[in-house]
């Protein structure tokens, strides 16, 4: 009986296990057969096993031959190395790799077009009834992530004890906080050594950005130890993975509850088609970053304060599956009958000219205590018009379609920029609102420094109807007037005149506008918008002025000579 040397196989097994363990720790793949990443690591582990066995066996093929050298009578050793790398031992790894590719292809829309089109359920709804005008300006989330980052960085930059150790995460999450849209982002450790220095106390707060008032605020919290910027076992994703090794996770992000307590939320996803296709959400896991405790929720049991479980990118992808494949895969390639998709958006001309595939974008609306994304729906023929709109709940995945034809978001942005083209302002991605039954885009116009300068409203069905103003409320009022809609006007208060001595002057930002507040020696308060009364910027405590005012709003101010 031929004697078998088992050492190479033992060493190969050890190498494969070490490779797999290292990959699991570093990349945290789900130990789930539906996770293609797991199969790739397994295939590489098989290669590691085969290579180690062959190298170990090759050691036995080294032999030392003694050769006589006649000239000096000495002998020297000659080493001959013989390694036999054959194709056959690698066949299992190659077969596994081919099998992974075949399974992935079987799960594509080519063979499962109907299944893909049925992943997302979309109900048709009435725009005027469903998206009530009572939503108002305080529920419109117009701020893009770039503007939020700028305001957040500016707020943290003013806190010397924070900015030296932490950065604001670029990952801002749009949430609904007590009925109002807010963007939130946690602080990140500013590098490995800052983590070492601060890990005992943890991350001490987060930033909130109000997209209506365009203001940022730093909120202190208990020390958060389990965050994405931490290392080793305190990395938030790794901490969750080790607790739930078999679950497929997606979209780890930061949120706060109604009381301002911080959490990290990650979606639990499943693959519904074949082994790797048809991704959808089955629930979420909520991590308390202070204590490290986690709670898993099924989709139907997710708490109301959690806002993002069905991420907007996934919803857009699922809608594209429905819009493209409901009449079959080959129809989406050739006839393209009734094919539609979400609108695409480029943030710059350079991106539009590149060969990269454009990504979908969407606006946000705070509605019924949840954050809903909205995006236009267009045909696949590449025109600049929408045939409808999709509104989807990021907590529940509920999706509604509104059959409204009109300009797409990019065209509306260009129309708004054209109103103030001499200023060179750029429009942010718009949101969709209902103004007296008229579907309307509303957006902000920013200068080159990213500061919000104006608000713009554009009619969806007639995008030549455009209005701009310094505040949301004023913009909508001007927009109603442009549509010929009568608005209720308050009865103006009687105008009065008074001479006062100023005790103090205050400056307050409201909706992106600076207001001047004058407090007289009798503790009466009067206000005016700085842009309308620039001469008031020169006033100081002790000055005497003569005011004309209505209520407490100044209509005219004149300094009294001493």
Q: State mean pLDDT over 56-63.
A: 58
Q: Quick check: 109 pLDDT over 70?
A: yes
Of 514, 528, 122, 530, nearest in space to 326 by CA: 122
Which of the given ranges, 216-220, 264-268, 334-338, 505-509, has the highest pLDDT on average?
A: 264-268
**Higher model confidence: residue 84 or residue 141?**
141
Helix (H, G, I), strand (E, B) or coil at 152: helix
- Can you read off the two tokens belonging to residue 405? 């034809």
pLDDT for position 230: 96
E strand segments, 52-165: 63-68, 75-80, 122-124, 140-141
Show the CA angle centred on residue 138, arms to residues 134 and 139, nearest 5°: 70
Q: What is the mean pLDDT of the chain?
A: 84
- Given a contact cutoff of 8 angstroms between Cβ atoms, the answer to whether 400 and 123 are in contact is yes
Most confident option among 174-178, 222-226, 380-384? 222-226
Q: Write down the pLDDT at residue 234.
A: 96
Calculate ∠ Cα 294-299-303, nearest 5°: 60
> What residues does each domain of the chain span?
7-106, 409-482, 495-559
Stated as kind and residue range, the H or E segment containing 411 is helix 409-419
Residue with more model confidence, 144 or 102: 102
Residue 97 pLDDT class (50, 70, 90 cuts):
confident
Structure tokens at 536: 């008031």
Identify the pLDDT of residue 430: 87
What pLDDT score does 139 carry?
60
Spell out the SS3 assignment of 171-211. Answer: CCEEEEECCEEEEEEEEEECCHHHHHHHCCCCEEEEEEEEC
Whether residue 221 is predicted with pLDDT greater than 90 in this model: the reply is yes
User: Please, what's the largest Cα pairwise distance for the chain?
Assistant: 125
Is the pLDDT confidence value at 93 over 90?
no
User: How far is the CA of 2 from the CAs of 5, 54, 56, in angstroms?
Assistant: 10, 19, 19
Q: Give the pLDDT of residue 138.
A: 60
| Least confident interval from 110-114, 339-343, 408-412, 514-518 | 514-518
Containing H/E element for 161? helix 160-163
* Res 304: pLDDT: 94
Helical pair 36-58 and 91-106, crossing angle rounded to 10 deg: 170
Helix axes 109-117, 312-325, angle to 10 degrees: 110
Q: What value does the mean pLDDT take over residues 204-231? A: 89
pLDDT at 467: 95
**What are residue 407's phi and psi, to 5 degrees?**
-70, 150
- Statement: residue 360 has pLDDT above 50: no
Please report the pLDDT score of residue 91 as a whole number: 81
**For residues 214-236, average pLDDT:** 93
Distance CA 405, CA 378 (A): 9
- Mean pLDDT over 244-258 rounds to 96
Average of pLDDT values for 395-405?
93
User: How confident is the model over 122-138, as pLDDT tens digits?
Assistant: 999 988 877 766 455 56
Task: State residue 6's pLDDT score.
Answer: 80
One DSSP character per residue, 65-86 reads: EEEE-TTT--EEEEEE------
Is the pLDDT at 488 greater than 90? The verdict is: no
Domain covering 495-559, topology: OB fold (Dihydrolipoamide Acetyltransferase, E2P) (2.40.50)
Residue 421 has pLDDT above 50, yes or no: yes
Look at 136 and 246; give whichever has higher pLDDT: 246
Q: Can you state the percent helix, strand and coil of the chain, rounding each to 5?
A: 30, 35, 35
Radius of gyration of the chain (CA): 32
Q: Over the stretch 273-307, which tens digit does the pLDDT of each residue have?
A: 999 999 999 999 999 999 999 999 999 999 999 99
Residues in the chain, overall count: 562
How confident is residue 494, by pLDDT bands cut at 50, 70 and 90? low
Q: Residue 491: pLDDT above 50? A: no
State yes or no: pLDDT of 241 exceeds 60.
yes
Average pLDDT over residues 341-363: 52
For residue range 145-193, what is the model confidence (pLDDT) as tens digits? 777 888 888 888 777 678 788 988 888 999 998 888 899 999 999 899 9
Q: What is the pTM of this model?
A: 0.78
Highest mean pLDDT: which range of 59-63, 97-101, 306-310: 306-310
Q: What is the pLDDT of residues 62-92, one digit of tens each?
A: 444 445 555 555 555 554 444 444 446 678 7
Average pLDDT over residues 505-531: 80
Predicted confidence at residue 162, as pLDDT, reads 80
353 C-beta neighbours (distance < 10 Å), count: 9
């Amino acid at each position: 009986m031929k004697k078998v040397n088992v050492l190479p196989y033992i060493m190969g097994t050890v190498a494969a296990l070490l490779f797999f363990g290292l990959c699991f720790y570093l990349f945290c793949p789900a130990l789930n057969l539906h996770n293609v990443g797991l199969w790739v690591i397994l295939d590489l582990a098989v290669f590691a096993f085969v290579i180690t066995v062959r190298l170990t066996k090759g050691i036995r093929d080294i032999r030392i031959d003694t050769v006589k050298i006649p000239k000096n009578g000495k002998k020297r050793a000659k080493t001959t190395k013989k390694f036999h790398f054959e194709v056959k031992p690698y066949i299992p790894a190659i077969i596994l790799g081919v099998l992974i590719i075949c399974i992935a292809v079987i799960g594509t829309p080519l063979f499962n077009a109907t299944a893909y089109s049925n992943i997302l359920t979309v109900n048709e709804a009435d725009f005027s009834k469903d998206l009530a005008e009572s939503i108002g300006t305080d529920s419109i989330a117009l701020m893009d992530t770039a503007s939020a980052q700028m305001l957040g960085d500016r707020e943290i930059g003013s806190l010397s004890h924070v900015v030296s150790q932490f950065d604001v995460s670029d990952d801002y999450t749009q949430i609904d906080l007590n009925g109002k849209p807010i963007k939130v982002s946690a602080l990140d450790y500013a590098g490995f050594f800052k983590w070492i220095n601060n890990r005992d106390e943890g991350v001490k707060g987060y930033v909130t950005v109000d997209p209506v008032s365009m203001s940022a605020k730093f909120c202190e919290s208990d020390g958060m130890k389990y965050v994405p910027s931490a290392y080793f076992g305190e990395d938030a994703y790794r901490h969750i993975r080790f607790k739930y090794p078999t679950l497929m996770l997606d979209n780890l992000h930061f949120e706060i509850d109604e009381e301002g307590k911080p959490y990290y939320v990650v979606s639990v996803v499943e693959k519904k088609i074949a082994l790797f296709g048809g991704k959808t959400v089955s629930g979420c896991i909520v991590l308390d970053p202070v204590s490290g405790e986690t709670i898993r929720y099924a989709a139907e049991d997710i708490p109301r304060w959690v806002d993002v479980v069905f991420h907007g990118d996934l919803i857009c992808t699922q809608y594209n599956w429905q819009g493209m494949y409901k009449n079959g895969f080959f129809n989406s390639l050739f006839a393209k009958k009734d094919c539609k998709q979400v609108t695409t958006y480029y943030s710059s001309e350079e991106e539009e000219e590149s060969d990269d595939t454009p990504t979908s974008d969407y606006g946000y609306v705070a509605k019924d205590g949840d954050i809903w994304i909205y995006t236009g729906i267009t045909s696949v023929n590449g025109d600049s018009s929408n045939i409808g709109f999709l509104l989807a709940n990021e907590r529940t995945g509920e999706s509604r379609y509104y059959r409204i034809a009109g300009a797409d978001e990019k065209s509306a942005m260009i129309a708004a920029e054209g109103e103030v083209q001499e200023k060179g302002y750029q429009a942010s991605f718009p949101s969709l609102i209902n103004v007296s039954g008229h579907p309307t885009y509303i957006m902000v116009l920013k200068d080159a420094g990213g500061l919000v300068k104006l608000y713009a409203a554009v009619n969806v069905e007639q995008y030549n109807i455009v209005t701009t103003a310094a505040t949301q409320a004023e913009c909508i009022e001007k927009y109603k007037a442009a549509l010929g809609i009568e608005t209720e006007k308050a009865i103006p208060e009687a105008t009065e005149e008074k001479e006062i001595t100023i005790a103090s002057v205050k400056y307050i930002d409201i909706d992106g506008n600076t207001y001047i507040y004058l407090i007289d020696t009798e503790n009466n308060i009067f206000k005016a918008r700085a842009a309308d009364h620039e001469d008031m910027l020169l006033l100081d405590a002790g000055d005497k002025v003569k005011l004309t005012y209505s209520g407490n709003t100044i209509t005219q101010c004149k300094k009294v000579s001493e």
